[in-house]
Structure 1
Amino acid sequence: MAPEYLEIVPATPVVSERNDNLAEAERIRRLVALHGSPLLILDCEAVRRQYHALQAALPGVDLHYAIKPLPHASVIATLRDEGAYFDLATNGEVDMVAEAGVDPIRTIHTHPIKRDSDIRYAMEYGCNTFVFDNPDELKKFIPYAGKVNLLLRLSFRSPDAKIDLSKKFGCSPDAAMSLLQQAADLGIRVKGVSFHVGSQALEPTKHVEAINACALIIQQARAEGLPALEVVDIGGGFPVDYIDQVQPIDTFCAPIRAALATLPAGTRLVAEPGRFIAAPAMTAVSSVMGKAMRDGRWWYYLDDGVYGSYSGRIFDYNHYPIDSLDFFGERSPSVLAGPTCDSVDVIEDDIMLPELDCGALIVGRMMGAYTSATATDFNFFKKAEIVVINEHVAEECDVVPLTA
């Protein structure tokens, strides 16, 4: 008879997890053998998973993917096939959705400051919903009155957000009625209001505060006889796990759902997720080019760094989950440096790693948002190649235009 302890040890899940890790490591090695290093592995299944998780957390909200964190054709195509909408801010982003065959009714243009040529470019594509936040921007739409719908962007400062997007854009809620009246006087239709509390918000409190403020503005506009505000765009900011764990998305969105339920019946609800969809979708793989013992620590010099895929260390103020692909062995404080001749090119200056040989692979997780998008070829080190996995074509979904 087998010893009793063998009957109660939960060995199967441990073995399964170990096998999954080994399978992933083998896949990474195969991709590096085929494409070289550095690499960024873009997993379209992660894009779909994140999109549907946010859909479930925000039912009834049209999700317009904000392209800038990860502007890749496979991401656009994947989300297009899932029935997503898109948030555009530049002519290049207009080109991306046009080339992907995205119907313009799925798009809005949300850059608060635009050139006249930018407005015309988006309109030629077929996008006719834009954002403004000041009188001078409003006047740019005088030639297009009757052809465009505007959203008034409001500012709600959020000290808890990683990136405070209301510092640069948005008007004070106190200025909203004056701007709405100016638009009415000019014959320019303002369809609704929008805001963005900032990227990687850790609490939903500011979203709720902003939604409640929008509700008051909608009521006040109606009371003053201004055109009805039928759209509320709650922006993005939905958080993801990096080094520190954040609230599960359903928990984070619960008070947001409750606040949205207080808006007038029939209000069109819009969100602009970027990081939440993009961040988990890419894994970075780099190789150790060389190593040196400095001040009692191993310095490992990689073929990718902060001028490349790890640009988010500077531009996004972010730390990523990083480890060696072969993670066995005694660990000691180490430094991961990039390949360039600039001393600022250090990814992590105190990371616990086993001793590595030249050619060892380093893996960075959660590398989809604000990484390749802001990478450069500085010092003539080429940006990491993006390899796409888990693509497929799904049926098109019916969509309702924002202008309907």
Structure 2
Amino acid sequence: MNGDVANSLDSNTIGSLVTQFGTPLMVLDCDVVRQQYRALQDALPNVELHYALKPLPHPAVVRTLLAEGAYFDLATNGEVDLVQSVGVPSERTIQTHPIKRDSDIQHALRYGCTVFVVDNVNELEKFIPYRDQVELLLRVSFPNADVLADLSKKFGCKPEQALELITHAFDLGIRIKGLSFHVGSQTRSGDKYAIAISRCNEIMQQVTDAGLPVLSTLDIGGGFPVQYTADVLPISIFCEPIRQALNVLPETVRVIAEPGRYLVAPSVTNIASVMGQAERNGQTWYYLDDGIYGSFSGLMFDEAKYETKSVKQSNEVYSSVLAGPTCDSIDVISDNIMLPKLNNGDLIVSTMMGAYCSCTATDFNFFKKADVIVMGEETVFDSNSISA
């Protein structure tokens, strides 16, 4: 289930939203979030899904997923504050940033979050003052060159270091309750997870053989791919090797995951309008009121692919350029897109923009960020009125 939100926005709905709220807009459809959550839960039926807030830290997403029974993966004090404000019970959260300040640990503990992630001795020893309050997951690195973002380059201990770190934690009186890993974003194959799960299973057995407390939790991270392009596997097929690998684990092991992009990427549609136009080198340049420094920031930071179309339809289309509103020359969304001849004020719609778009947008050049409009809750409303 790809859940392309554009299917739920006909031209009348788009026009109504623009009349009411103006442009640019980011339209968040909570029904799509629900669909994505249920699809992943069906693909990983015995795995607790902890939504990683980073790609879209929006209260409506948190509320929607909480109602679905989700758990939450937090990495910063702001994310702690957001889930607390929405009423997420602290026992449904973990704090997974491998590198934390002492104040970050204290902030999470005041909320009631007691499960943290470490990946080195320095980080482990930060928990000495809190050893009676916390349980830790040790993050293990499994480098993966075949991904959009290889997070194992920045975090995680080598598998052969795990037993030594767990032994050191035991000597300090700190409980390591399990292992975690992250194979990277937009992973192409579930086989990468299966390899990591198998290696973690071996580490768990090493811990038991060493006479240390049994590890009871395995966090398989995120990275589940969404269909920016047609070559991405359907989620059930993608997860088949993961399910097979998990079946080999002892039945006593609790398995959790940290999906982010997969749950929210298809849930947001961008609506922008043409501010002006010019003929340059045989192409029409259309300047929109949103761009690279705004909602399309993922084109720079995330290498994601968005489907972009004109609301105005015609059989006659021409090679065109879509540019953002700022005075910076890199602010170009697409330098070769086939579009009909557009007028100032015509609308451009882009889908698959729920992950790493709003959260990385800026107000550079004092062009305001797109307002986020929520659909699929009880009413349609402007999220700027929500206190988070």
TM-score normalised by the chain length of structure 1: 0.91
Tell me the equivalent position of 2:35: 49
**Superposed displacement of residue 21, structure 1:** 6.5
Which whole-Å CA distance do the structure 1 matches of 2:306 and 2:7 have between them? 19
Superposed counterparts of 1:202-213, under 5 Å: 202-213=188-199
1:242 has 2:231 as partner: no
Which whole-Å CA distance do the structure 2 matches of 1:306 and 1:203 have between them? 30
User: Which structure 1 residue ranges, 5 or more long, are not aligned?
Assistant: 1-19, 394-404
Give the partner amino acid of 2:113. Answer: C
Tell me the equivalent position of 1:32: 18
Q: 2:181 aligns with which of 195, 205, 209?
A: 195
Give the partner amino acid of 2:308. Answer: I
Give the partner amino acid of 1:250. Answer: S
* 1:231/1:269 contact within 8 Å kept: yes
Tell me the equivalent position of 1:271: 257
**Superposed displacement of residue 379, structure 1:** 0.2
Superposed counterparts of 1:143-158, under 5 Å: 143-158=129-144
1:293 partner SS: strand
Q: 2:65 aligns with which of 79, 84, 93?
A: 79
Tell me the equivalent position of 2:172: 186
Give the partner amino acid of 2:16. Answer: R
Per-residue CA distance 1:52-99 (angstroms, 9 max, x = gap): 000000011000000010000100111111110000000000000100
Tell me the equivalent position of 2:384: none
Per-residue CA distance 1:315-363 (angstroms, 9 max, x = gap): 1112211111123231222111000000010111111111211111000
Tell me the equivalent position of 2:385: none
User: Which structure 2 residue ranges, 5 or more long, are not aligned?
Assistant: 1-5, 380-388
Give the partner amino acid of 2:32. Answer: A
1:143 partner SS: helix
Which whole-Å CA distance do the structure 2 matches of 1:237 and 1:51 have between them? 14
Give the partner amino acid of 1:263. Answer: L
1:305 partner SS: coil
Tell me the equivalent position of 1:124: 110
Which whole-Å CA distance do the structure 2 matches of 1:115 and 1:207 have between them? 30
Which whole-Å CA distance do the structure 2 matches of 1:72 and 1:141 have between them? 30
2:152 partner SS: coil
Tell me the equivalent position of 2:216: 230
Superposed counterparts of 1:242-321, under 5 Å: 242-321=228-307
Q: Residues 43, 28 of structure 1: CA spacing in aligned structure 2 closer, same or farther, 3 A cutoff?
A: same
1:164 has 2:150 as partner: yes
* 1:333/1:351 contact within 8 Å kept: yes
1:373 partner SS: helix
Q: 2:101 aligns with which of 97, 115, 121?
A: 115
1:217 has 2:217 as partner: no
2:321 partner SS: strand
**Superposed displacement of residue 22, structure 1:** 9.8
1:173 has 2:169 as partner: no
CA RMSD of aligned residues (A): 1.3
1:361 has 2:350 as partner: no
Aligned-residue identity in percent: 59
Tell me the equivalent position of 1:370: 356
* Runs of 4+ with >6 A deviation: 20-23
